[in-house]
Each structure stands twice: as structure tokens, then as C-alpha cells.
A and B are shown apart, each in its own frame.
Chain A
Amino acid sequence: MGLGKTLAVRGLTLIAVLFCVLLLTVAVIGATGVSDRILNAMLNERLRGIRQVLSTQITDPDELNRAIEAIEDDLIHSYGLDQPWYVRMPSMLARIIILDLGNARTIQTFTGSRLVSDIILERLPNTILIMITVLIINFLVGLIIGVKSATRPGSLLDRFISIYSSISYAIPTWWLGLLMILVFSFYFRLFPFGGMFSAPPPTELIPRLLDLIWHAAMPIITLVIALSGSWIYITRSVVITTAQEDFVTVARAKGLSERLVMWRYIIRVAAPPILTNLMLGLAAYLGGAILTETVFSWPGMGLLYYHAIVSIDEALILALTYIFTLIYVISRFLLEVFYVILDPRVRYG
């Protein structure tokens, strides 16, 4: 229906975004020779493995070398290294999409694998955990405080919110994290300095869960403080504007209770623009996740970014850029779904 068509159009745009980003990254790594390096590294790893296997079968060193060279030529051709970078763009694209990018330079998973795809998949849930928790908390906090502030314009809470929002925009999330560590970990010794679990981590379920919460508390609090400011303010503004609409007065005239008016006529109508703003701010969540994980050494993909930069691991950075864009596109799409459900006006008839 109208719903489906709208979503399809938005979905297509988002897929186009993903595609363009991938295209951009592939072109950049191709033109700067980075893709050559990555593919060469992958090729050499494979050769090493093949050499190991073959050396148990062929004992004559010359014959071994000849065999390896033949395989090497095949591999070079299959990796596309004998062609200019723009010719092998499609295969490079496919490679990135399925994360077939070989090994990371120095990093390993906890189980010892060095494959880029394994490393990323291992860290992914940690990042998602933080992001979703922060999103939910921000949503609730923003809604409650934003609505409370909107119903009492000019009050102390309201003025505090205005100041708080404008300042929280200017505070770098990562610096706030540093500050929190300085104050709460160094001076007050209330929270750990970072990481996801203590060393050694507790083995039983409940203590392990508590340990996790204790470690996750500061990153989450930091992100909430840094990102909720503008969110609360926008909620408040939209609610105030909506509350002044005529249909709200009509609802009161119809004898509806104030509670019903608030929910069905103000919040329900304000939801779509608030959601739009959430969508616009989603990029900030991603950026915040990357920086906060770095500050708190939270073993998610953000910290992976940091390590990859320090160890100049191109394949890893490429893979991370892709994954982050993918997460971003998916979350945007989910929000779009919500938006279309909430606001009948945007459905193409």
C-alpha cells in the first residue's frame, strides 16, 4: 500500500548510501594503492599456508618452488593483482561486503583467530550492547524530561534544560569520558578505569553480570549525558509547538482528560518530528560509540578502530568503515519504518 511504497523508496535511498560509501572506499583504496597492499598481504598468507602443506608432500626444494610459483601466478590472477585497481573494483566490493579481507596485522580474537571477519564479529555485540542501551535510556529520559519541561515552560527545570542542552552540544563526548575517569575512577575509586570485565572476570552468572554492569556504567552514563542534551531540548520544543495547535484545544473542548490529551494529541503527534531528529542524531551516536569505547577501553568496534589506527592496519579500518556504515544504514531504516507507521501524512497515496 502507501506504507510499503514509502518504505521501499526510503530503503532504496539507504541502500544507495551504502553503495556509494562502499564505492568511495574502494575507489580510495584502489587509487592510493592500499588495496594492492591488502590483497598482497592476503595472497602471501595463503601462499604461506599452501607452502606449509605442500612441503610435507614435495621434498625436492626446486620442485616445491616451481609448484608454489605456479600457484602464485594463479592466485595473482584470481586476486586481480595483475590488473589495474579500477578493473577489479567489483570483486573488491564483493570482498568487503562479505568481510573477506584476510588477517589483521597485530590483533587477535580471544580465541586466537586473526581473521578480520572473526575479530569484527566478536566485537560487534559489545558495541551494539552499549548503543542500544544508550538509545533506550536517552529515549526515555528525553521523553520524560522533555515533556515535563514542556508542560512547565519557564520553570527552573525548563531553564536548566535550555542551558544544559546548549552546553552538552559543545562538550566532546570523549573528553567527558576522560573527565569521568579522572573523577570517578582516579579520585573516588568508584568505578573501574575501563574494559568490559575485571581481570580475571568472575565465572558465575550473577557476579559476571554485575561485573559487566559495573564496567558498562561509566561509558553508558557518559554517552547519555553527552547525547541527551539536544534530544531533550528537541523533544521539549516539538511538544511545546504541538501543544499550541488548535486540535489540542479541540480535544480539551471535547471533554477529554488532560492525560488523554497529552498522550493522544500531543505526544502522539509530536512523535514523528522527534523521531526525525533522532534519525539526524544517529550519526552522533555512532561517533560517540567509537570515541567512548576508545576512552574506556571497551572492547567493541570503536576500540578496534583505535587499535587499527595505531597499528596502521588498513584491512581492519576498511572493514570497520564498512560495518559501521552498515549498522548506520540499518538503524536509519528501522527508524524510518517507525516514522512511517507513526505519521500517516508521509505515506505516498
Chain B
Amino acid sequence: MPYLEVSDLHLYYETVRGIVRAVDGVEFMLEKGEALGLVGESGCGKSSTANALLRLLPKNYIEYRGHIILGRHDLMNLSDDEFREQIRWKRISMIFQGAMNSLNPVLRVGFQVAEPLMIHRNLNKEEALRKASELFKLVGLPSELVDRYPHELSGGMKQRVVISMALVLNPELIILDEPTSALDVSIQAQIMNLLKTLKNELGITMVFITHDIALASDLSDKVAVMYAGQIVELGFIEDVLHKPLHPYSQKLVASVPLLKGNKKPEFIPGAPPDLVAPPHGCRFAPRCPFIKEKCMVDPPSSHLVGGGYVKCWLYE
């Protein structure tokens, strides 16, 4: 029984240019303790999917439907207040893109980590701060840093604070939206190691969003390749990396520069489609090298042996 089951997830919002179909029928499944890498180009809807999972809807949304089943409850059935009290941070937490700005500049970092404890678990301030400093140790920060302000910490330290903040209520699922994209490479490696350790030791289910498929492979068990608001391929990381099925995934994998060998990285011609008016039929068709007449119709998701699927006429 999959622990997290997302199906038929849609999130549209209205702009002056039209209706943006940011999340257009996303589905995936995760077992407990698994990590899913959600990979794709900028603007393909990864962050919107993350927000949709936490019901962080923009003010101008006009459609939000689907099923998010976490451990047997469909979260869609909850009211907004129930969602806020029961789910947010307690069962699902999130690490946002850009740790620089995820922390309130006028509050001490320890307090910000301790805050959910005071609100959701009714702990008093000293107890909560004590827990916070324990968490700091867990993520590799000296516990004296609880009294510091965000501007006194380096980028890597801030990201660790953000991670500990996400862990504070022992959530079942953590969504990580590009947790390392604002950091330089050496810090990136440290943070990735930390995340791997936490995953293994604490058994947290993760959804890891990134545009870097190589980075995703470091942490994820499964990977979902997203394009124009839809998942075009979902499978185990080794399968997708070594034998990508969807033409887009193939291009994506091929674009990663390799340390060894002489193979030049490829690029994908064209630009991602406008989410306001996605093309009819297969959305990747205009850029696909294998385009056929059939591709005028939107392909169904063909389920594969290993439990994943691919959305392409080549496999129908």
C-alpha cells in the first residue's frame, strides 16, 4: 500500500494573459521512506506541484482538485482550517527554494525553529528552544546558534537551519524545493550528505524537486520527469537514468555533462511551451525528434513493469 498517493492533481490560476495550467493531471506514488525526485526545466510546474501538495495556493487560483492520499486519508477532503491544523508542518513540511529568504530577518533562528512546537504542540518557550538546539546538533550546527539572527549565518548554515525547521514536528513527508540551488558546490555537497543521512536515519518520505537530474539521482529512489505541467515519465532512478524511455527524459539525461569520457552534452532545441496555452496533444511534440502524426492526440500514461509509467505514443 503506497504511503503517499497523488492522483489527478490539478492547479490552475488566472493571470492577465489567461489561465495558467501549472499542474495539469499529476500522479505518482511513494512508499514510506522513499524519496521521489521531481525533475524538469524552469517553469514546468514543479514548484506549483509542491505548493499544491501543501495547499499553498496563490490568491488567483481557479482550479484545485485531485487526490492526495497520505497514509489512507485523502487530504483534499479536509477544510482549510483542518488542513492548517493537522497537516501543515505536522505531517508534511517543506524546505523552500532560497534559504536566504526563508528565515524571518528580525527573529532569532532558534525561535523560528521552535515556533511550530509552540503552536502545534503547545510547548512553552524553554522546552521548545531546547528541542531546537537538539535539532541543530542533528543537522550539524553548534547549538549556541539558536540565539543568532539569520544575517549572522552563512548560506550553508541557514540552509541547515531551514532543514531543522522542516524536521521539528517529525513530519511524515518533506518536500524539498531546490534546496541547494542557491549554494555553491562544496556547500551543496555537504547539504546533500546531510539530507541523505537524515533520510536513512529518520526514514522520512521525501519529494525532492530540482532541475538537475544528476543531483536528483544522489538522493532519490524514484524520479518523475515533469514537462509542461505533466509528468511524462516516472520510474526508479537507475532505470530512468540509464534507460530513459520518454524522448524528453532522454534529452534531459543526455544533457548532463559527464566527468569521464568525451561525450559532449546535448541540448534540447526550442523552448518549453507557455502554460497558458499548452499545445494540443502531446506537449513535447513540437520539440520531439520522434514526432508522428499520432502525437496530435495527448498520449495516455502507459504503465510499466516496475510500477512506473511513461506518457508517450512510442510505448503505447
Residues of A bordering B, CB below 8 Å: 245-247, 249-257, 260, 264-265, 268-269, 272, 342-345, 349
Q: Tell me the minimal C-beta distance from B51 to chain A in angstroms.
A: 8
Residue of A nearest to B148 (CB): A344
Q: Which of A247, A253, A349 contacts B104 (CB 8 A)?
A: A247
B106: chain A residues at CB < 8 Å are 268-269, 272, 342-345
Stretch from B112-120, B232-240, B280-288 forming part of the interface with A:
B112-120
Task: From B103, B107, B120, give the contact of A255 (CB < 8 A).
Answer: B120
Report chain A residues within 8 Å CB of B149: 344-345
Query: What is the predominant secondary structure among interface residues of chain A facing chain B?
Result: helix
Using CB atoms, name the residue of chain B closest to A258. B84
Contact of B101 among A245, A252, A272 (CB under 8 A): A245
8 A Cβ contacts from B65-101 to A: 84-85, 88-90, 93-94, 96-98, 101
Q: Count of A-B contacts with CB under 8 A?
A: 68
Q: A344 — which chain B residues lie within 8 A by C-beta?
A: 105-106, 149, 151
Tell me which of B105, B115, B116, B152 contacts A269 (CB under 8 A): B105
Given the interface pairs A254-B116, A255-B119, A344-B149, the reply to whether A249 lies near B56 with Cβ below 8 Å is yes
The listed residue with most B CB atoms (<10 A of its CB), out of A245, A247, A345, A349, is A247
B148 to nearest A CB, angstroms? Answer: 9
A278 to B314, CA, bound (A): 66
Residues of B in contact with A (beta carbons under 8 Å apart)? 54, 56, 84-85, 88-90, 93-94, 96-98, 101-107, 115-116, 119-120, 149, 151-152, 165
Asked if residues B101 and A253 are in contact (CB atoms below 8 Å), the reply is no
CA–CA, A268 to B115, complex, Å?
16
Contacts of A245 in B (CB 8 A): 101
8 CB contacts below 8 A, A to B, read A245-B101, A246-B97, A254-B89, A254-B165, A255-B85, A268-B106, A343-B105, A344-B151
A262 CB, nearest partner CB in chain B, Å: 13
Q: How far is the CA of A249 from the CA of B51 in the complex (A)?
A: 10
A252 nearest in chain B by CB position: B56
On whether the beta carbons of B103 and A247 are closer than 8 Å, the reply is yes
User: Of A246, A254, A260, A272, which one neighbours B98 at CB under 8 angstroms?
Assistant: A246
Besides the known contacts A343-B105, A345-B151, 14 further A-B residue pairs in the complex with CB atoms under 8 A apart: A246-B98, A246-B102, A247-B105, A250-B94, A250-B103, A253-B93, A253-B96, A254-B89, A254-B93, A254-B116, A255-B120, A268-B106, A345-B106, A349-B152
Q: Which residues of B contact A252 (CB under 8 A)?
A: 56, 88
Given A246-B98, A344-B149, answer yes or no on A254-B88 (Cβ-Cβ < 8 Å): yes
Q: How far is the CA of A343 from the CA of B102 in the complex (A)?
A: 17
B105 neighbours in A (Cβ, 8 Å): 247, 269, 343-345
Residues of chain A contacted by B88 (CB below 8 angstroms): 252-255
A272 to B94, CA, bound (A): 28
